[in-house]
Amino acid sequence: MEERRGPKEEWGITEGKARNIKKLTDGAEKPVGEWNDMVIECLGDEIKVWVNNTLVNNGYECTAQKGHLALQAEGSEVEFRKIELTPITEITE
């Protein structure tokens, strides 16, 4: 986390603090006006997110393992289409 966000003493929400975490990858999203493909996998206490076949986020030791799903955007209008929910029936390593 420190590699992606910087030294802990610079973390925070006030002006001048490192509020955001750098993306795992740059360039995964298509240009404005084109549709992106996103896959979100939730399994046990772990979540993985791919955008256009590129792993962009991976979280583990999540406190929630069931509940509501929400899709959101931050800072601008967003549209969603072709949303599919598929249960994971088999774990493959």
For the segment 51-90, what is each residue's pLDDT rounded down to a tens digit? Answer: 999 998 899 998 988 888 888 877 778 889 999 999 887 6
Residue 93 maps to a domain:
no
Q: Which domain holds residue 24?
A: 2-59
> Would you say residue 13 has pLDDT above 70?
no
**DSSP state, 21?**
P
- Residue 9: pLDDT over 70: yes
Report yes or no on 12 lying in a domain.
yes
If one compares 11 and 65, the residue with the highest pLDDT of the two is 65
Type of residue numbered 72: Q
Single out the residue of 38, 42, 46, 1 nearest to residue 20, CA to CA.
Answer: 1
Local structure of 42: helix, strand or coil: strand
How high is the pLDDT of residue 82?
93
Total structural domains within the chain: 1
Has residue 91 been placed in a domain? no
What pLDDT, in 10s, does the model give residues 24-44? 677 888 888 899 999 999 988
The torsion region of residue 5 among left (phi > 0), alpha (psi -120 to 50) and beta comes to alpha
